[in-house]
Amino acid sequence: MNLLRVLLVDDHQMLTEALSAKLSTAPDLWVVGCRTTDDQHLADTVHRLRPNVITIEIEQYGLAIADVVGALKEASPTTRMVVLTASHDHLQAVEAARAGADGWVHKSSSTEHLVDVLRGVCRGQASFPPEHLGAVLRELREDVRRVRDGGGPLDALSAREREVLQAMVDGLRGDEIAGQLKVSANTVRTHTHSIFTKLDVHSRLEAVSVARAAGVRPHAHADGVAPLTPRRDPVTGTGA
């Protein structure tokens, strides 16, 4: 029997060790290591161990999970990645899939389900729960369409991300953007990180610069607060 080599990564060492004990009851799984998410040598460990599959907990990373998954995939391109999380965030699932994650398992799932997913992804089967699958497939299809159509730098942004970027151009702070769009500050941070990733920038200033170069202009408004969709423009794609 060929054993599947599994590396476990979580915020807490105790949790990885507990999960390792549970997975060790599966005759075809071999846990080759347990690491924490703040391990500075995690990519080196992955490169050295070359596990068949990694489970990684994402709460510490937020949307930066895309960067982490990408880095670990680069360290070992053939290794499968399964996100183990308590999050129900569709955007995190989409960004993880874009970066190369093969599966997404909620922490409320049974060990038996996790084992099935680990086996499945090692056979080349992607595994995302139904509540995320629609968003993942829709966004990946849009990515393919944008590449095929050769769109501009802002075409990769979702409608909501365009609204957030427009608000940045309007000079609004994070809390002001949250109030304008009627979302939480954490959601604004998530969208902001996604914008940075898609535009390949590292700051609000750079993101605004890219937007202005693409023809986006601040919305003029008497009270200094930009309306949500005041006129049609290349960022929001909406009209008054």
Which domains are delineated in the chain? 4-130 (3.40.50.2300), 151-240 (1.10.10.10)
* Beta bridge partner(s), residue 6: 31, 53
Mean pLDDT of all residues belonging to the chain? 84
What per-residue confidence (pLDDT) applies to 89?
82
Alpha-carbon separation of residue 152 from 108, 191, 214, 218 (angstroms) = 41, 19, 8, 19
Band of residue 234 on the pLDDT scale cut at 50, 70, 90: very low
Is the confidence at residue 53, as pLDDT, over 50? yes
Where residue 19 falls (left for φ over 0; alpha for ψ -120 to 50; beta otherwise) is alpha
What per-residue confidence (pLDDT) applies to 220?
58
> Around Cβ 36, how many Cβ atoms within 10 Å?
17
- For residues 222-231, give the mean pLDDT: 37
- Number of residues that make up the chain: 240
Q: How far apart are CA 222 and CA 110, in angstroms?
A: 55
Q: How far apart are CA 42 and CA 9, in angstroms?
A: 9
Where residue 129 falls (left for φ over 0; alpha for ψ -120 to 50; beta otherwise) is beta
| 153 or 176: which leads in pLDDT | 176
What per-residue confidence (pLDDT) applies to 64?
67
Whether 121 contacts 127, CB under 8 Å: yes
Nearest in space to 50 (alpha carbons), one of 30, 32, 63 = 32
3-state DSSP call for residue 183?
coil
Band of residue 152 on the pLDDT scale cut at 50, 70, 90: confident
What per-residue confidence (pLDDT) applies to 60?
65
Is the confidence at residue 226, as pLDDT, over 60? no
